[in-house]
Structure 1
Amino acid sequence: MEKKFNAAIVGACMLLCLGAANAAAPVAKAGPVDAQFKAIYTQEWKWRISQKQEEDEDDDNGVSATLPRIDLATQKQRLAYWQGVMKKLDGIAQDKLSPEERINYQVYKAQIAALIANQQYREYEKPLNADSAFWSNMTSDARRPMTTEKQYKDYLTQLADVPRYFNEEIVNMRAGLARGFTPPKVTLVGRDSSITSVTDAKSPQDTVFYTPFKKMPATMPAARQEELRARAAKTIAASVLPSYQTLLKFMREEYVPKAREELAAESLPDGKAYYQSKILEFTTTSMSADQIHQIGVAEMAKIRAEMLDVIKQTGFEGDLPAFLQFLRTDSRFYAKTPEELLMRSAWVAKKFDAKVAQYFGYLPRRRFAVIPVPDDQAPFYTSGRGGPGVYLVNTYNLPSRALYSMPALTLHESAPGHAFQMPVAMEQKGRPPFRNAYISAYGEGWALYTERLGAEMGMYETPYEVFGMLSYQAWRASRLVVDTGVHSKGWTRKQAQDYLHANTALSEHEIETEVDRYISWPGQALSYYLGEMSIINARKKAEQALGSKFDIRAFHDTVLQLGSVPLPVLEARIDLFIAEGGKSPYPNLD
């Protein structure tokens, strides 16, 4: 298995690097090879939906009546299926694909390679990390608005399926435990609070799973509402609560006590190859851990110099450590109430609206709401998270949520970051649905790039806010050092925490939760800064090549119109953008 998988990784790396060079080359128009390739991905996507590995965008119901099957037999079948798909892809004559399908091919083959890798390394035996877990992900449907009787009934059927689903997860976790494939024990401390938020409920009606039944559509007859509410209480009591109680006992008495002590991904079974597979998945490059570590060290030195310049602008007399301590402890920099933090976030988002026309031609139709992170998730959640329709702001532990960081955070998570970028991609017509799968290097790279763009846009009104942006840049660059340090160079948890403490203005709470996230989620933290560097370098190349013809709106529209792709594919698209004279992908826009 190790030899086969390593070959697959090398092949995927070669595809990404060589395919990028070919993406802008002249190719034949749509022909039989396009049809051959479309048949492969159309069939596989339909199968993937049936496996509940993705959401069906054509299903407006929005609530699944069942949870995915995740038992060992099903996992082996998935591996065999995706390996069969890869063989078919290897038989495609890439040079005979049309330009659009060539890009699709590069995105799709890398996606299938990552799916195969996750199956071969049995990632399903570790369905949790310090950031999220299968049981906390279960609450998403409970918080989703429901408007039809069918949605409510499907939701109740889903809740009745929880015992089977949780049992399969526990069986998989036991298998992972037996071979030492778990998150490090230290990152699991206190994470059962999202389980006890359910088990400690006084009644089924007090659990998050009853939320959809508290306010039901006025168009639904009262008698039917009461019938569904009664069914919900009964199903939660009979299926959900016992499942969470069994899970809590398993976590406290078996899983956490026996979880591995080692931190490094390279200490896991076949660890070096496993960590390299995570690097490939999250950065879409074949760089080594050593290369990434050195990039991080070099970039941190550059950002540190920028920080020192901004400190002078504030008039503060003291060195960087003293300034960081000042920022962490002066009450003027922190909100007094959750509402203040939410309102500041909304204010920054509206300030961007006044700038958007200068930097973007195409604007997404989808709006987003600013809402607090749910209480049961907030203690170990990131400072914010955004996507289509939502910008989540963490109002837990207000003394750890600096106001001077809110402009950078808001640009990243709302607009023009995730809550802007994702809808733009989804609104592109005629694109196969697999193209909406999230590629971290692209998505996080874009969001981090928008933080830097904020300075250009005049979004930062004080030197403290500029420093907040630089601290966030340092936070992401330091991840290159910390992630590779922990997973490849033997760093301790304290070393990682000390590095963030010395180089960023993050609060102690954020540093602890972030480091535990990196420790338990190898490679994910690498995507942000490497993705940003790719976009910045592509922009510099376009500016130099196009000179006065360079239009920042056309550049941004080109990056976003492409959607989530591996970094080499993005870089090749900008080469084409340059060759075409910097024209917008939306010629009808003013």
Structure 2
Amino acid sequence: MKNLFLAFLIIVTALQSCKHKNANEAYLPPVKSVFTNYYEERLQLYPLEATINGDNRYNDRMSDELTEEGRAKLKEFYKKYKAELARYDREKLSDEDKTSWDILLWECNINLAELKYPTELMPLNQIFSKHLFISQLASGSSSQPFKTVKDYEDWQKRVDGFVVWCDTAQVNMRKGIQQGYVLPASLIRKMIPQLAGMNHGPANEHLFYAPVKKFPKDFSAQDKSRLKKEYADMVENKVIPMFKKLHTFVEEEYLPAGRKTDGFKSLPNGEDLYNYYIKYYTTTNMKSDEIHKLGLSEVERISAEMEKVKAQVGFKGDLKSFFDFVRANPKLMPFKEPKEVITHFNKIHEVMKPNLKKLFDLTPKTAFEVRRTEAFREASASAEYNSGLPDGSRPGVFYVPIPDVKKYNIVSDESLFLHEAIPGHHYQISLQQENTALPDFRKNLWYSAYGEGWALYAESLGRELGLYTDPYQYFGMLSGEMHRAIRLVVDTGIHSKGWTREKAIKYSLDHEAESKESITAEIERYMAGGGQALSYKIGQLKIRQLRAKAEKKLGSGFQIREFHNLVLESGCVPLEILEDKVNRWIASKG
């Protein structure tokens, strides 16, 4: 009996222990809840990101990354979720949850690293800047919706926040002047006409008045009348004065204080800042010297390919003379009306369509269209893709700047379409957004090395898709690849080797067929956003390397559609995570 009683006590104790253990395990929610909570909390800190993602809950808010309080909130946010991840044993998670865990940890670490630098002191530039993005939203034809009365009211509140943001930017830029943390004068000059274009009326012709010129049909006459008056008042008494104040400050105070140097290296702690941007944009631990040498090697390789095309078309001069010939060839500038450019891109799409299914069985449902870039930013804009939404409320849009249609050169149009549209950004971003298996924070995530790397890899698929039958279009593809190889050289040259703007422009002119105007705008883009230009070639080379490895290891078992599915299905990931995924796939097939 005594032994039976002891046995009973042991069983009861064990059950209580299990119950206690299970209670503790129940206290730790599934790791997916961390991913969900992160995304929900993040949108409140980045309301513009929410709008882009099609989440309209915060359409009346402006971000706050310029104030000390706002930056402190961001720091606490990333620290909080880094601590949340540490509560979980990564090795016990599913493969997909491990990937999400790894990506979220990367996000926390890379954003905390950025907050160590006083980037808030240089909030404006001529290309990567909120004054341009908000103006694009103001047009009424971008991500900010104008479908309901509330949408129109939300925008007025967001504009109020934008006015405050611009005032804060001006305060910060004055601090930047004092601390030597200021833009190069050459970039400041490019901002002046942008601001001047917004600093005057009449109010009813201003870009920020545009949404009330295209009301939805179901709006009542009373709402239309009220909103017209409110928008006129907003433009006249808030928007124009704000742009006028900013324009005066930039022209009269900021420009005289502008740097005579061109790269980050001349900023306080600028070398470390550039190293951070290399890591941020390439998602690798590559060093500046390594990237510079890789760029020189790629320029040499692609130049040899260009020589072959030059010989094919029978051009007798040297390669630099051929660049000049291509730049000025009237046969490559055939259009008289901007709409002809748009029609041309749509024809490229039609040629590709029968061949797409040979390379892809994952294709997006999101609608797609080609548009001309808006006039207010066309002069300094590059071709670009703006993502659509899976619910069909917004198509993916390939924007094409056509500042002077008679000088518009078509030599790179096929590769440009492959990159910016299909199967480049439109496929990659839309498939990511449409993938219901991904946690929400990953559906709209962007890593430039992956996203731009994929788009540049997509350019190399032209012959497989029925394009590049014209040697000039193939030369255009080589020119596009050369353009990205040159970026490795000039971006690192400017920001870590002391290259001047003029030296970088000359190097580009010597090695590619772009016009001087286009190259100048590109070099100034790299000056404003150091490191971003490195991502294209670094990502493309990694994807090509992984494809070559899979083809070699799998032989006849290699299926191109399966490889493309593998690369695209998880959306944007740091390159190390992509490489690990492909390696595991190759191993599983062997």
Quote the residue 2:572 is aligned against.
Answer: 564
Counterparts of 2:350 and 2:128, CA distance in 1 = 30
Structure 1 residues 32 and 567 mapped into 2: Cα distance closer, same or farther (>3 Å)? farther
User: What's 1:550 paired with?
Assistant: 558
Q: 1:51 aligns with which of 45, 63, 66?
A: 45
Name the structure 1 match of 2:329: 330
The answer for the alignment partner of 1:141 in structure 2 is 137
Give 1:114 shift.
2.0
Partner in structure 2 of residue 397 of structure 1: 404
- Of 281-290 and 324-333, deviating more is 324-333
Question: CA 1:57 to 1:37, structure 2 compared with 1: closer, same or farther past 3 Å?
Answer: farther
Q: Deviations over 1:24-57 (max 9, x none)?
A: xxxxxxx989946434443333222112353168
Per the normalisation by structure 2, the TM-score is: 0.89
| Paired residue type of 1:424 | L
Which one is further off, 124-133 or 472-481?
Answer: 124-133
The 3-state SS of whatever aligns with 1:293 is helix
Aligned ranges 1:81-100 → 2 under 5 Å = 81-90=77-86, 92-100=88-96
What letter is aligned with 1:186?
Answer: S
1:537-557 Cα shifts (integer Å, max 9, x gaps): 010111111111111111111
Output one character per residue of 1:517-569: Cα deviation in whole Å (capped at 9) or x when no partner: 11111100000000000100010111111111111111111111110000011
Check whether the contact 1:441–1:531 (CA below 8 A) recurs between aligned residues: yes
Cα displacement (A) at 1:79:
1.8
Match of 2:379, SS? helix
CA–CA distance in 1 between the matches of 2:43 and 2:54?
11
CA 32–348 in structure 1, closer or farther in 2 if over 3 Å, else same: farther
Unaligned runs of 5+ in 2: 1-24, 389-395
Is 1:497 aligned to residue 505 of structure 2? yes
Q: Deviation string for 1:402-460 (max 9, x for gaps)?
A: 21111011110011111221001000013222212210000000000011111332311
Per the alignment, residue 169 of structure 2 pairs with 169
Who wins on radius of gyration, i.e. which is larger?
A: 2
Matched to 2:565, the amino acid is D
> How far apart are 1:60 and its partner, in Å?
4.9
Compared CA separation, residues 40 and 505, structure 1 to 2 (3 A): same
CA distance in 1, matches of 2:296, 2:309: 20
Q: Structure 2 vs 1, CA of residues 365 and 553 (structure 1 numbering), >3 Å: closer, same or farther?
A: same
In structure 1, the residue corresponding to 2:371 is in which secondary structure? Answer: strand
Q: Write the distance in 2 (CA, Å) between the matches of 1:281 and 1:34.
A: 31
Instruction: Measure, in 1, the Cα distance between the counterparts of 2:454 and 2:158.
Output: 35
Q: How many angstroms apart in 2 are the aligned matches of 1:505 and 1:34? A: 59
Q: How many Å apart are 1:398 and its aligned residue?
A: 3.6
After superposition, what is the alpha-carbon deviation per residue over 1:210-252, rounded to whole angstroms, capped at 9, x for unaligned? 1111011111112221111111111221211111111111111
2:490 is the counterpart of 1:482 = yes
Match for residue 406 of structure 1 among 384, 404, 413: 413
Aligned residue for 2:308?
Answer: 309
Bigger shift: residues 96-105 or 257-266: 257-266
Say which of 404, 419, 429 aligns to 2:436. Answer: 429
Tell me the amino acid that sits aligned with residue 174 of structure 2: R
The corresponding residue for 1:341 is 341
> Counterpart amino acid of 1:488?
S
| Alignment partners' CA distance in 2, 1:400 and 1:124 | 38
SS at match of 1:509: helix
Determine helix, strand or coil for the equivalent of 1:369: strand
Q: Measured at CA, do residues 272 and 328 of structure 1 come closer, stay the same or move farther in structure 2, by a change above 3 Å?
A: same
- Opposite residue 55 of structure 1, the aligned amino acid is A
Q: SS at the partner of 1:390?
A: strand
Alignment of 1:457-476 (within 5 A): 457-476=465-484
**Residue 261 (structure 1) shift:** 1.9
Amino acid across the alignment from 1:258: A
1:380 partner amino acid: S
**One-letter code of the match for 2:298?**
E
Identity of aligned residues (%): 32
Question: Mean alpha-carbon deviation: is it higher for 54-63 or for 489-498?
Answer: 54-63
Cα distance change of structure 1 residues 257 and 92 upon mapping to structure 2, 3 Å threshold: farther
Q: How many residues are aligned here?
A: 551
1:416 aligns with 2:423: yes
Correspondence for 2:208? 209
In 1, distance between residues paired with 2:470 and 2:234?
Answer: 54
Q: For 1:272 and 1:223, how far apart are their aligned partners in 2? A: 58
Mapping of residues 61-460 of structure 1, within 5 Å: 61=56, 64-69=59-64, 70-90=66-86, 92-142=88-138, 143=140, 144=142, 145-200=145-200, 202-334=201-333, 335-388=335-388, 389-398=396-405, 401-435=408-442, 436-460=444-468
Conserved 8 A contact 2:128-2:529 = no
| CA deviations over 1:123-180 (Å, ceiling 9, x no partner) | 2222233323221111233224521111111112222333322212222222223222
| 2:416 aligned partner, one-letter code | L
Q: Compared with structure 1, are the counterparts of its residues 255 and 41 closer, same or farther at alpha carbon in structure 2 (3 Å cutoff)?
A: farther
Distance change in 2, residues 1:188/1:351 (3 Å): farther
SS of residue paired to 1:110? helix
In the superposition, relative to structure 1, how do residues 32 and 536 fare at CA in structure 2: closer, same or farther (>3 Å)? farther
User: Cα offset for 1:311?
Assistant: 1.0
**How far off is 1:336 after superposition?**
3.0
Q: Does structure 2 retain, via aligned residues, the 8 Å contact 1:486–1:519?
A: yes
Alpha carbons of 1:287 and 1:197: their partners in 2 closer, same or farther (altered >3 Å)?
same
When residues 562 and 32 of structure 1 are mapped into structure 2, their CA distance, relative to the original with a 3 A threshold, is farther
Q: Which moved more, 1:65-74 or 1:219-228?
A: 65-74
517-526 or 161-170, which deviates more: 161-170
| d(CA) in 1 for partners of 2:276, 2:207 | 36
Map 1:503-542 → 2, pairs under 5 A:
503-542=511-550
The amino acid across from 1:217 in the alignment is: P
Deviates more, 1:255-264 or 1:509-518: 255-264
Whole-Å separation in 2 of the counterparts to 1:509 and 1:63:
39
Give me the whole-angstrom Cα distance separating, in 2, the residues matched to 1:486 and 1:141.
32
Question: Aligned with 2:398: secondary structure?
Answer: strand
Report the alpha carbon displacement of residue 264 of structure 1 after superposing the two structures with TM: 1.9
State TM-score, norm by structure 1. 0.89
Kept after mapping to 2: 8 A contact 1:264/1:490: yes
Change (3 A) 1:34 1:139: farther
In 2 relative to 1, CA 177–93 (structure 1 residues): closer, same or farther, beyond 3 Å? farther
Paired with 1:566 and 1:33, the residues of 2 have a C-alpha distance of 31
* SS of the residue 2:50 aligns to: coil
Gaps of 5+ in 1: 1-30, 583-590
Contact map agreement 1:67 1:158 (CA 8 A) in 2:
yes
